[in-house]
Structure 1
Amino acid sequence: MASTQLGGAQIAADGLVGQVEYIQHEKDAGNKIDSLPEPFSHVNDETVKVDTQVEDWHFPTEEEQRTLRRVPERIPIAAFAVGFCEFAERFSYYGVTQVFTSFITYKRPEFNRAGASGDRPNVHSGALGKGQQAANGLTTFNTFWVYCTPLLGAYIADEYIGRFNTIVLAVFIALIGHVLLIIAAIPSVLDDINGAYACFIIAIVVMGLGTGMFKSNCSVLIVDQMRIKTQTVAVLKTGERVIIDPSLTIARIYMWFYMLINLGSLAGQLGMIYAVRRIGYWFAYMLPTIVFALCIPVLLFGRNYYIRYPPQGSVISRAGKVWKYALKQQWSWNPTTWKKLCTSPTFWEVAKPSNVPASERPAWMTYQDVWVDELSRGIKACSIFFLLPIYFLCYNQISGTLLQQAGQLNFGTSPQELVSQLDPIFIIVFIPVFTFLLYPYLERRRIPFTPIKRITVGFFVASIAMIWSAVVQHYIYESTGCGKYVGSANHIDADTGRDCESVTSNINVWVQSGSYVFVAFSELFASVTSLEVAVLMAPKNMKSIVMAISVFTSAIAAAIQEAFNPLAKNPNFVINYGVFAGMAFAGGILFYALFRGIDKRQEELNLIGNTPDDFDDDSKPQFKVIDGESKAAEERPTEKPKAGEPQA
């Protein structure tokens, strides 16, 4: 590790080197470099000078790891610009999907061709009249499709055109889907129910393709805007010495990112449920389309300001070759021995170039040793996602069966979807609480609330939400003469003699509040953290792919939910919620039992690829003091890596 002396304090170069390499990379790529944020204003845009008043700036020692407070860096403006695009996309996506259930389930009111119910109490807005099961099936398919397509978007980005260009392509594809949704909801088109139904299905397929491609890349592009790439000791203006920790920066970025997601979803959902009730579905599909189109000028204007990393070529195939090579080297005809070797902590060591004689190295083995460690960590991250579909089974209820439950309650003249807005509202309220109070408090107290612990808590809180939903559903069934067929056609209310399709419980719809509040808390622990894990633990040139795998867990949940579709109707709703509550509780226990080993090694895993020893001394600049200034004595090699070659 290269180091020098400045003012009697030893300075390891890496804290600066991480910035120098970043600056050089951006110059090579032709990107504009912004000034570093506070508390790094004493480093100029070229990152080759250090203010002599700064005592030290270096990778933390073991003692500093134990004693110094950790803080995130200030989030740059470019990250918020990317976040605006996510806001607009979530406004559009949740705005239209919020009204999918009523659009599919209920028939058009006789008094309004656009499907609006106006001010009439307990009258449903509707369009296609296909029923509860069809609505649940299509909304579940939409969820499945939207969370499958990120894999394609990630592959295109990492292998061919990069994240930014993939996002631009995704916006145009999704806009086509939005336009088709508007066409399906035009009153004259709705006169032909089958034609409108076909157009609607095509629309969600096209829109889902664009949405998925957008999702897996926008959530990584925002983290690409980070400037501090390694743990770095710095002195704040207050004189306090702290560790700038990229893992905390990532956690904070995703808290704000999730805030923007929920601001978008709240605005979209709240606006569209009233747009449907007052005007009709065509208008509720048109407004989100207009908002989503705002992504285009934001992306085009900021294209020269965003930090954009080029695609790395055949990284995925290379990762497969590394895994295959490691398996082959550990092969044994004894199944017990082979299993033991494959699960050994040293499994990946045989695939490191330093452990393979030069004469025996395959032509594709051009990466550094540290990349193998990053790949191993990325696979651990993907294994963490294995149980997340159980969590998302609970989460997905807020856009499906819980909306149907609201239609069985007394919602008066308000839209039946109104209470569901408590989910984004509570997330928006509590993100600052978590960001500025809870997590800093735990950090000050040296209480490690690691990603594994947070996701585990998310499972348990989701289970509580489903228990609440089951109890509410039980009392709905007990409150009318329809029993377990409230809201179902071809059943007669024993109390009033009315068809149960038009019967609602006298229980106020706001009794659902508990379900949405607990789901919101579970998202802050589980869903947000899964994004953090995907970026934190993925190899640097496979972040979009690992993020897509994280997102894909929602698609798996949707596929599993299709198997439970027979429970998503009367008279089985209580069983539906009870089953998901039990699965989430058991899933939380199993999750922590399987991954507590990763929990104990989280700090060690975070540092892979982010320590001074992970850089080749021949490729990093050396710093020395010249007349009171630190200047680069040796320039970074300008030779660019070969396409497809993983870099540490």
Structure 2
Amino acid sequence: MSDEKKQLDSPPVESVDPNDHEREQQQDQDLPEVRGQVPRKVWLVQGLYFLERAAFYGLSQPLQNYLQLSKDDPHRPGALGLGQSRAVMIVYIWFIYSYLTPLAGGLIADCWLGRRKTIQVGFFIYVLGLAIVTATAFTERLHGVGGLPGFIVGMFLVGAGTGTVKPNITVFLIDQFPDTGEEPKTVTLKDGKLAKVSRELTIRFIWNVNYWMINVGGLCGIITTNIERYAHVAGFGFAFMVCLILVMASTLIFNITYKKFEIIPPSGNAVADTIAALRRRRLQKKASRDTTPAAAQETKAVSAGSSDASSQSAAEDGTITTQAAKDLSVLRDAKTALRACLVFLPFPALMLSINLMDSTLIAQAGTMQTNGLPNDIMYNLNPISVMVFLPLFQSWIYPSLSKRKVNFSPEHRIGVGMFCATLAIAYTTGIQHLVYSTGPCFSHPLACLAGKNVPNDVSVGYQTPTYVFLAWGEILAIVSGTELAYSRAPASMKSIVQALFHFFSAMGSVFGVAVSFACHDPNMVIVYGAITAFLLLCTVGFEASYFVRRKKTGSGTV
């Protein structure tokens, strides 16, 4: 009787459906994803990068006129008077150098100094280089001395500085948004619906804001090109001084807030570890094939050796498996890094087209009617276009495609971006043909007696679609490339892979140097046409390889 009473008094036991947990997981998966909050430290790094990029673009935009035109040019501001071909070649060589130096900057950060200290050193070199360029621009204009030697030395240091800062500050940006490893949070939206916070969407938002702010900084060229034109005495010196002040401000803020940032210590010399692991793997394979016991023992002893004390101790204790596991991890990271670099293959062609904005497109604008505006101010249509269209892509186009279950993967975005760049240069080819078909000087603008150094009668406004198409290409391709360089790189090689991304971009400047010898009138229609064909070939090749890979693996990754 008492047992029956206990059963009646005890609370009822709820039956547990084993499918409840699976249903909850399925509901979580079906929830829409939203971005999370961005830490303040991320915005601080964004601001530093904005100042650095403003200085870089403010410096690069006047370079074509500074190098190409002479001080006595009656229509455009100039300084060194080297001519179009040599000026284009020098600009491209400097871009190559600026894109190659990140390899050293990324290696130093990942292997020795860490990203924070490397950025600090890079800013110091940057300031020194800009100070030399600025000072010698004044002496060249006022006294006719020091211009070219000072330019070479100063730009060498500027390239080293920006190459040290650029690959590390982009990774340092995401370092300030560390992955805690927690399960994604569920939040209630303003309309009362539930959503899941996505770290991936938050990082994509950070990259897009980063690129948007870079292009806001690019508008510094409006300031420097107008100073260059209207400051008749030493205009270039004052223009370069603006860039110097911006980098000095960025350096000062970074040093003041130095200790507030998240720090990820260097992981050791990943490149040297990879080479050592490959060497040990080769020796082990050789030992397994060698039938001579003495030779096998000798090779085994060499292969068990290590570059550091811990692995030597492991070898002495006979724990070769520890070293083998370490080598396997190192080689796996290296393989992951190389796979991440596959998506960078079309970027030389893309960057060739984008770099035209700093060289031949400025020269083309100089042969057109600008109605009193500086010819190099047209470049600023590109960052303005990015500022207008990037929020539309982020807030409308990408979400609309996602709702319709369209897999617009980063690789596919790169391919579409390449196609936009192809359209841009194809259109530019047509505009160049229009310039050559219009008087007074036709295919020899500014060089005929009838024209008396007057540009051909074509409005520079026709260049506008070129900059808009190139802006679309940058939004789709460059932002996606930067995102992939970070997300698919192993933790020990993030700065190195980011530097390799810039290395592939440098190859675009190598191609630019190759075509610079032909960059003069009346060859420009052929030059632009050849670049268009090259871009189209690379675009089709990348999309075809992406399609084949997706069919083979069943995924959207390359």
- For this structure pair, what is the TM-score category when the shorter chain's length is used for normalisation? 0.7 to 0.9
Residue 366 in structure 1 maps to residue 319 in structure 2? no
Deviation at 1:160, TM superposition (A): 0.7
| From 79, 83, 86, the counterpart of 1:131 | 83
| Partner in structure 2 of residue 296 of structure 1 | 251
AA at the equivalent of 1:145:
Y
| Partner in structure 1 of residue 340 of structure 2 | 381
Query: What CA distance in whole angstroms lies between the structure 2 residues aligned with 1:329 and 1:70?
Result: 48
| Partner in structure 1 of residue 542 of structure 2 | 591
| Partner in structure 1 of residue 385 of structure 2 | 426
| Partner in structure 1 of residue 39 of structure 2 | 76
| Partner in structure 2 of residue 537 of structure 1 | 488
Q: 1:599 to 1:243 in 2, by over 3 A?
A: farther
The answer to which structure has the higher helix fraction is 2
| Partner in structure 1 of residue 120 of structure 2 | 168
| Partner in structure 1 of residue 294 of structure 2 | none
CA deviation vs aligned residue, 1:458-497 (integer Å, no higher than 9, x gap) = 1110000001111111111111243322134xxx34xx26
Tell me if structure 2 keeps the 8 A contact 1:231–1:244: no
AA at the equivalent of 2:462:
V
Tell me if structure 2 keeps the 8 A contact 1:318–1:364: no
Q: Which has the larger radius of gyration?
A: 2
Residue 306 in structure 1 maps to residue 306 in structure 2? no
Paired residues for 1:205-354 under 5 Å: 205-228=156-179, 232-238=183-189, 240-266=193-219, 268-279=220-231, 280-322=235-277
Query: What CA distance in whole angstroms lies between the structure 2 residues aligned with 1:605 and 1:570?
Result: 43
Paired residues for 1:89-168 under 5 Å: 89-109=52-72, 123-168=75-120
Deviation at 1:103, TM superposition (A): 0.6
Q: 1:109 to 1:93 in 2, by over 3 A?
A: same
Query: What CA distance in whole angstroms lies between the structure 1 residues aligned with 2:400 and 2:441?
Result: 51
Q: 1:230 to 1:473 in 2, by over 3 A?
A: farther
CA deviation vs aligned residue, 1:89-111 (integer Å, no higher than 9, x gap) = 1111110110000011111137x
| From 486, 500, 511, the counterpart of 1:549 | 500
| From 189, 193, 198, the counterpart of 2:149 | 198
What SS does the corresponding residue of 1:201 show, helix, strand or coil? helix
Query: What CA distance in whole angstroms lies between the structure 1 residues aligned with 2:260 and 2:557?
Result: 31
| Partner in structure 1 of residue 405 of structure 2 | 446
Paired residues for 1:543-622 under 5 Å: 543-596=494-547
What SS does the corresponding residue of 1:564 show, helix, strand or coil? helix
Deviation at 1:233, TM superposition (A): 3.2
Deviation at 1:170, TM superposition (A): 0.5
Deviation at 1:360, TM superposition (A): 4.5
What percentage of aligned pairs have identical amino acids?
27
Deviation at 1:319, TM superposition (A): 3.0
Query: What CA distance in whole angstroms lies between the structure 2 residues aligned with 1:233 and 1:399?
Result: 44
Aligned-residue Cα RMSD (Å) equals 2.9
> How many residue pairs were aligned?
505
Tell me if structure 1 keeps the 8 A contact 2:442–2:456: no
Query: What CA distance in whole angstroms lies between the structure 2 residues aligned with 1:364 and 1:329?
Result: 10
AA at the equivalent of 1:234:
K
Query: What CA distance in whole angstroms lies between the structure 2 residues aligned with 1:315 and 1:461?
Result: 37
| From 83, 87, 91, the counterpart of 2:50 | 87
Residue 522 in structure 1 maps to residue 473 in structure 2? yes
AA at the equivalent of 2:514:
A
Q: 1:457 to 1:550 in 2, by over 3 A?
A: same
AA at the equivalent of 1:437:
W
Tell me if structure 1 keeps the 8 A contact 2:63–2:91: yes
Mind listing any 5+ residue stretches in structure 1 that lack a counterpart? 1-7, 11-54, 111-116, 118-122, 332-357, 607-648
How high is the TM-score relative to the length of structure 1?
0.73
What SS does the corresponding residue of 2:185 show, helix, strand or coil? strand
CA deviation vs aligned residue, 1:291-347 (integer Å, no higher than 9, x gap) = 11111232123222211101111222223445566778899xxxxxxxxxxxxxxxx
| Partner in structure 2 of residue 456 of structure 1 | 415
Residue 507 in structure 1 maps to residue 458 in structure 2? yes
What SS does the corresponding residue of 2:375 show, helix, strand or coil? coil
Deviation at 1:362, TM superposition (A): 6.7
| Partner in structure 2 of residue 617 of structure 1 | none
Mind listing any 5+ residue stretches in structure 2 that lack a counterpart? 1-15, 287-317
Tell me if structure 1 keeps the 8 A contact 2:550–2:557: no
Query: What CA distance in whole angstroms lies between the structure 1 residues aligned with 2:32 and 2:543?
Result: 27
